[in-house]
Amino acid sequence: MSEQAWWSNQDFWRKCAIFVTAFMFVVLILLTFHSLAAISSGTDRVPAYSVINHRIDYRFDEARNMKVPVIGEEAPLFGKVLSEDEARELVDLGKLTVQAKNCMNCHTLLGNGAYYAPDLTKAWLDPGWGNEQARELLMTMFLKDPKTNARTYGTNRRMPDLDITDEEVRGIIAFLKWMSAVDTNGFPQGFEPLPQGGS
Amino acid sequence: MPAEAAMDVGAAVAEDTAVALNTRSLTAGQRLALKYFTVAMVLFVAQMLFGLLAGIQFLYPEFLYGVLDFNVNRMVHINAMIVWMLYGFIGSVYWLVEDEAGVELVGAKLANINFWVLTSAVAVVVVVYLVVQVGPGKQSTIWLINEGREYIEAPRWADIGIVVCMGVFFYTIAGTFMKGRWSGISGTLVLDLIALAGLYLAGMFYTTNLSVDQYWWWWVVHLWVEATWEVLVGCIMAWGLMKTLGARREIVTTWLYIEVALMFGAGILGLGHHYFWIGTPEYWLGIGGFFSALEPIPLVAMVVHAVYDAGRHGFQSSNHPALAWLIAHAFGNFLGAGVWGFIHTLPQINLYTHGTQWTASHGHLAFFGAYATIVIALIYIALQRWRGDVWMSADLPDRGWKWKWSLILLNVGMMGMTIALLIAGYEQSFIERAIGGSTWAAFFEGQTQPWFVQGMQWRMIFGVVMTAGLVLLLWDLLTIGRGETRPAKEVHDPAGPSGAIESGALSRAPV
C-alpha cells in the first residue's frame, strides 16, 4: 500500500473526513451562537412581542435593496396597549394554538410548512383584509367560523372549523401581527401590504 | 408476533425446497431486522394511502372535508414516511451488524422488547393523529396529541420514548461492534448514529419565538436528511456493494470516507439554505447558498462509485433486484437530493420558490431516491438469506417480471410526480410570487391556473402508477425466491477476495 497515490489512500481520506467534519461543525456552532443572539426577541431582526402595540408596515429599503418591516406609531391590537409580558403571553398563546391546530400542515410559516393554503408570514398585512379598520374583525370572524366566512378566492379550499376559542383567536392574531414584523431578508418578494394609516 | 410467525413459515418453506443448499437459520439480529422491515412496508403503504388522499384534496377540496382534513392526511403522509425510513435503516443496521462485527448481537432480548415498545408507540401516535387530530392551544396538546411542527409532529411523550428506544438500539449496535471487531464501515456508522440520535434532541422544546423555533427545527430536519441520513445510507451502500457484487472492502471504505468528507463538508453549513428567510442574519444568504450548492458533489461521487463498481464486476451480482435498487438509489439520490435540490438552492432563485411546489417536487424525489430505494435493496438482500441463500441473479422464474415491473412503476411514478409538481411549482412561482407579490389572492390565482391544475392532475395519475408499483413490490417481496432450489451466485472481486476485512483496517476489541 505504501506506493499508493495519496488520492486513493484510505488513511488520507479517513483523516480528511474527520477533520472536515470537525471543522465544519465548529464553524456551525460559532455561527449558531451569533445567529441566536441576532434573532432573540427584541432585536433588530426579531421584534419584541410588544411590537403588537404598533403599526407595522413593509417598505423598500434602498440600502439593503429589499423590503423590510417598518415599525410605526402606536396602533394597539384590539385597542388595548399591552406590557411586554402581557404581549408575550398573548403571542405565546397564539404560537401554541398554531402548533396545536396543526396549521403548518396546510399553511407555510416563514415559507415553511405545507402548500395547500396561503403563506402566513405577512398574513397580518394581507391586502385581502381590505383596510386596517376592518382587519381585526374580519380575521376574528374568519378564525371563529372559517366555514361560513370562507376565503377561498373561487376555489373550494376552505379552512376546517378547528374549535378555536375567543382567547385563542386573539392569540393567533397577535402572533400573526408579531410574525409580520420579523425581518425576513425581503421574503416574500414584491409583497404589497394593505393600506396603512388610512392612506 | 405475526412477523415471527411469517418467518417460521418461510423458514419451513425454505427447508422444504432448498434443504440441500447452504441454508442457515437467521441470526437474532437478522430476525429482528425482518420485523423492522415488515413494519417499514406497512408504513410505506400508509404513506402512499394518505398521500393519495391529500393529492385528491388538491383536486377536490370537498373530499373528506371536516373528516380527514388535508393537514391530517399530510401529517400522516410525511410522518409515515419518516418513520418507515427510520425502521428501514434500523432494520438494515440490525441485518448487517453481526456480519460486520463477526459476533452475535449483544442484548438481543432487549432489542426485541425495544422493537415492540417502539412499534406500539408509533401505533398509538398514528391513532391519536387520526382520531383526536388537533387539540386546544395548551402545552397538553404538544405533549399528548401533536407538536404541530412539520416532520417532527410526534407529541413530546413519543419524542422521549423515541430517544429511549434509540438509546437501546445504539447500545445493542455499539455493544456488538465492541464485542466483535471494528471496521471503517462500522466505525463511521456508530459515530453517525450518535450524531443522528443527538440531533433529535434539538427538536424537543417549545419556544414562543418562531425564528428560534425554526432555527433548531432545521437542525433536526436538515442535519438528518441532508447529512447524517446520507452518511448512514453511505455505510449501508458500502456493505450492500460488498454483498451483492463482492466489491473489495478497501475500495468501498475509501469511497465511504471520501463521501463523508464531501457530505459533511458541504452539508453541515449547507444548513444555511434554510436560514435565508426565517429572520436569521443576511450572511446566511452567502454561506447557505455556497455550501448547499456543493451538496450535489458527494452524490455524484456515489453514482460514480456504484456504477463503476457494478460495471467493473460486469453487473455479475448475487442479487439482481438488490443491485438494481442500489443503482436506483445512487441515481435517485443524485437527481432528487442533488439536482432537484440545487435548482432552487441559490437565494436569488429561492426567494421565489421557497414554500411552493418546487419544494414538494424536490422533497418527493429526494426522499424516495435517496432513502426508499436503499431500504428496498436491503430488504431484497434480507429476503434472499431468509429463503435460504437462494439464487436471485439472472434467469429468475417468469424472468423476474414482478421485481422489474415494480422497480419501473415505482420509479416512473415518482419521476412523473416530481416533474408534474415541478411544472406546478414553476407556474406558482411566476403567478403567485413574481407577478402577484405573494398575497393570499395571488396564492389562489396561482392555484387555479390551468397549468397548475394540470400539474396536480398528472401528479395524481403518476401517484396511482406508483401505487401499482408498490402493490407489485409487496407481492414480489412475499414470493421471490419461493421454491427456488439453486444456491446464490458466488461473487468475488476480480482483483482479490471479496468483503474480507484487511488486517490493517480492523482491530479486535479486548473481550
ipTM for this model? 0.96
Q: Are residues A29 and A107 in the same domain?
A: no
Over 80: is that where the pLDDT of A150 sits? yes
Strand A54-61 with A108-109, pairing: unpaired
As given in the structure block, the three cell numbers for residue B409 are 412503476
Q: Are residues A117 and A146 in the same domain?
A: yes
Q: Are residues A62 and A135 in the same domain?
A: yes
Q: Are residues A65 and A163 in the same domain?
A: yes
Contact call for residues B107 and A138 (beta carbons, < 8 A): no
| Cβ-Cβ contacts under 8 Å, A184 against chain B | 277-279
Q: How many CB pairs under 8 A join A and B?
A: 266
CATH code, domain carrying A60: 1.10.760.10
As a whole number of angstroms, the distance between CA B41 and CA B372 comes to 10
Residue A187 lies in a domain: no
The Cβ of residue B158 has, within 10 Å, a number of other Cβ atoms equal to 21
Rg of chain A (C-alpha set): 22
- pLDDT for B500 equals 45
- pLDDT for B20 equals 31
Residue A185 lies in a domain: no
The residue of chain A with its CA nearest to that of B250 is A10
Q: Are residues A79 and A156 in the same domain?
A: yes
Of the residues B150, B182, B214, which one is the last residue of a structural domain? Answer: B182
Distance from CA of B62 to the nearest CA of A (A): 7
Contact call for residues B329 and B237 (beta carbons, < 8 A): yes
Residue B478 lies in a domain: yes
Q: Are residues A16 and A58 in the same domain?
A: no
Residue A189 lies in a domain: no
Residue B270 lies in a domain: no
Domain hosting B137: range is 28-182
Q: Are residues A57 and A30 in the same domain?
A: no
Residue B455 lies in a domain: yes
Give the best residue of A23, A27, A40, A112 to mutate against chain B (max B CB count within 10 A). Answer: A112
Phi, psi angles (nearest 5°) of residue B345: -90, -20
H-type helices in A70-130, by residue range? Answer: 84-100
Residue B71 lies in a domain: yes
Distance from CA of A23 to the nearest CA of B (A): 9
Residue A35 to residue B215, Cβ atoms within 8 A: yes
As a whole number of angstroms, the distance between CA A174 and CA B185 comes to 51
Phi, psi angles (nearest 5°) of residue A194: -65, 160
Three-class secondary structure assignment of B379-429: HHHHHHHHCCCECECCCCHHHHHHHHHHHHHHHHHHHHHHHHHHHHHHHHH
As a whole number of angstroms, the distance between CA B326 and CA B321 comes to 9
Over 50: is that where the pLDDT of A156 sits? yes
- pLDDT for B7 equals 47
Domain hosting A96: range is 49-180
Residue A85 lies in a domain: yes
pLDDT tens for A23-68 read 999 999 999 999 999 999 999 999 999 999 999 999 999 999 999 9
| Cβ-Cβ contacts under 8 Å, B436 against chain A | 190
Give the best residue of A35, A103, A148, A152 to mutate against chain B (max B CB count within 10 A). Answer: A35
Report how far apart, in Å, the C-alpha atoms of B221 and of each of B156, B226, B368 are: 17, 8, 16
Identity at B248, one-letter amino acid code: R
Over 90: is that where the pLDDT of A3 sits? no
SS3 A113: strand
Q: Which of B428, B211, B277 is nearest to A68 (CA)?
A: B277
- pLDDT for B494 equals 65
Report how far apart, in Å, the C-alpha atoms of A11 and of each of A194, B258, B306, B501 are: 62, 11, 21, 15
As a whole number of angstroms, the distance between CA B283 and CA A32 comes to 12
| Cβ-Cβ contacts under 8 Å, A91 against chain B | 208
| Cβ-Cβ contacts under 8 Å, A105 against chain B | 70-72, 74-75, 148, 150, 153
| Cβ-Cβ contacts under 8 Å, A36 against chain B | 212, 215
Q: Which of B346, B291, B324, B305 is nearest to B410 (CA)?
A: B324
| Cβ-Cβ contacts under 8 Å, B274 against chain A | 112
As a whole number of angstroms, the distance between CA B75 and CA B79 comes to 6
Residue A60 lies in a domain: yes
Residue B69 to residue A160, Cβ atoms within 8 A: yes
Residue B325 lies in a domain: yes
Give the best residue of B199, B278, B284, B292 to mutate against chain A (max A CB count within 10 A). Answer: B278
Residue B257 to residue A114, Cβ atoms within 8 A: no
As a whole number of angstroms, the distance between CA B176 and CA B190 comes to 11
Average pLDDT for A102-128: 97
As given in the structure block, the three cell numbers for residue A54 are 404598533
Nearest to A156 among B61, B213, B280 (CB): B61
Q: Are residues A54 and A91 in the same domain?
A: yes
- pLDDT for A5 equals 87
Residue A169 lies in a domain: yes
Residue A121 lies in a domain: yes
Contact call for residues B329 and B370 (beta carbons, < 8 A): yes
How many domains is chain A partitioned into structurally?
2
How many domains is chain B partitioned into structurally?
2
- pLDDT for B492 equals 75
Angle B210-B212-B215 (CA atoms, 0-180°, nearest 5)?
105
- Cis ω on the peptide bond leading into residue A188 (within 30° of 0)? yes
Q: List average pLDDT for each run of 10 residues in chain B, which is 511 residues long.
A: 46 41 70 97 98 98 96 97 97 97 96 97 97 97 96 96 95 97 96 94 95 97 93 95 91 94 96 97 97 94 87 89 95 95 96 97 97 97 92 90 97 98 97 95 96 97 98 96 90 60 38 29
| Cβ-Cβ contacts under 8 Å, B280 against chain A | 35, 38-39, 45
Q: Are residues A20 and A104 in the same domain?
A: no
Across chain A, what does the average pLDDT equal? 95
Residue B227 lies in a domain: no
- pLDDT for B490 equals 87
Q: Are residues A26 and A116 in the same domain?
A: no
Of the residues B141, B166, B182, which one is the last residue of a structural domain? Answer: B182
The residue with cell 427538536 is B203
Of the residues B134, B157, B182, which one is the last residue of a structural domain? Answer: B182
CATH code, domain carrying B329: 1.20.210.10
Kind and range of the H or E run holding B120: helix B108-131
Three-class secondary structure assignment of B73-116: HHHHHHHHHHHHHHHHHHHHHHHHHHHHHCCCCCCHHHHHHHHH
